[in-house]
């Protein structure tokens, strides 16, 4: 059983639908006892960092999430969830969860894509990953598979955490983490087959790590 962290994130239903399609049991919750007990947690997110942090603190999800991570429950942050796991966000100059050291910055304007056209912010659409480290989450996914992105800020975690980068005017980090704690800037729940594979890989890891305990 996976938990989707409840704090009113816009994409929590999309994530639930994708898990249902994959026949992965899940519950949407912010209850600390449940979060400590599940096999893994998905931390979704759409919108602005400041408002999301307020919601996370207000319903106790921030504390419950921190506790579950300390207990070693596997975690997958998605989009805004990926950004908020870092120390700080330039968006409304927000102090965020600080579970992974790093900051979240706004895309610069006036950067050019490979074909010379200027980048537009938000970065919205399908883009590919360049793997920088091995990850069980990317198992079985073609190296040039594309994922769906929608974001105006990008994550800059401590470099040892970077798993994949994506080019949009420059190479930014699109996936980071270590075993049992991952975050992706794109939306696996909206990225067709490769996205669904990534979610299934996360669940497989959760099952295996639970069995190993």
Partner 1 sequence: MLSKRVIPCLDVRAGRLTKGIQFVGNEDIGDPVERARRYYEEGADEIIFYDITASAESRGIFLDVVERVAEQIFIPFSVGGGIATVPQMREVLLAGAEKISVNSAAVCNPRIISEGADAFGSQAIVVGMDVLKVPVCEAIPSGYEIVIYGGRKRMGMDALAWAVRCQDLGAGELCVNSIDADGTKNGYELTLTRAVVNAVSLPVIASGGAGEPRHMYEAVSAGGASAALVASIVHYGAYSIRDCKAYMARCGAKVRRLW
Q: Which tokens go with 192?
A: 């067709």
Which of these segments, 64-72, 137-145, 170-178, 203-211, binds partner 1 (CB under 8 A)?
137-145
Name which of 64 and 82 has its Cβ closer to partner 1: 82
Answer for which of 191, 198, 201, 206 binds partner 1 (CB under 8 A) is 191
Answer for which of 113, 130, 158, 208 binds partner 1 (CB under 8 A) is 113
d(CA 159, CA 185): 16
Name which of 7 and 161 has its Cβ closer to partner 1: 7
Name which of 123 and 165 has its Cβ closer to partner 1: 123
Q: Residue 5 contacts by C-beta under 8 Å, 6 or more apart in sequence?
A: 12, 29, 30, 35, 41, 42, 43, 44, 61, 65, 81
Of all helices (H) and strands (E), which one includes residue 78? Answer: strand 75-78
Which SS3 state, helix, strand or coil, does residue 73 take?
coil
Residues that bind partner 1 (CB under 8 A): 10, 13-14, 17-18, 20-21, 46-48, 113-115, 118, 120, 122-127, 141-142, 144-146, 148, 150, 167-168, 189-196
């Amino acid at each position: 059983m996976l938990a989707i962290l409840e704090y009113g994130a816009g994409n929590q239903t999309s994530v639930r639908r994708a898990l249902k399609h994959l026949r992965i049991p899940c519950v949407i919750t912010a209850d600390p006892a449940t979060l400590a007990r599940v096999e893994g947690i998905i931390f979704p997110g759409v919108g602005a960092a400041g408002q999301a942090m307020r919601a996370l603190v207000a319903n106790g999800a921030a504390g419950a999430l921190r506790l579950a991570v300390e207990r070693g429950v596997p975690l997958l942050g998605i989009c805004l969830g990926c950004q908020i796991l870092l120390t700080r966000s330039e968006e409304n100059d927000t102090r965020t969860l600080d579970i992974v050291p790093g900051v979240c910055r706004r895309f610069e304007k006036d950067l050019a894509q490979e074909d010379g056209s200027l980048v537009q912010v938000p970065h919205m659409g399908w883009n590919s990953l360049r793997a920088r480290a091995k990850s069980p989450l990317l198992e079985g996914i073609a190296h040039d598979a594309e994922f769906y992105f929608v974001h105006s800020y990008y994550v800059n975690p401590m470099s040892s955490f970077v798993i994949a980068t994506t080019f949009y005017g420059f190479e930014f980090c699109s996936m980071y983490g270590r075993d049992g704690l991952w975050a992706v800037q794109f939306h696996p729940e909206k990225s067709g087959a490769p996205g669904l594979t990534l979610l299934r890989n996360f669940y497989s890891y959760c099952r295996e790590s639970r069995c190993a305990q």
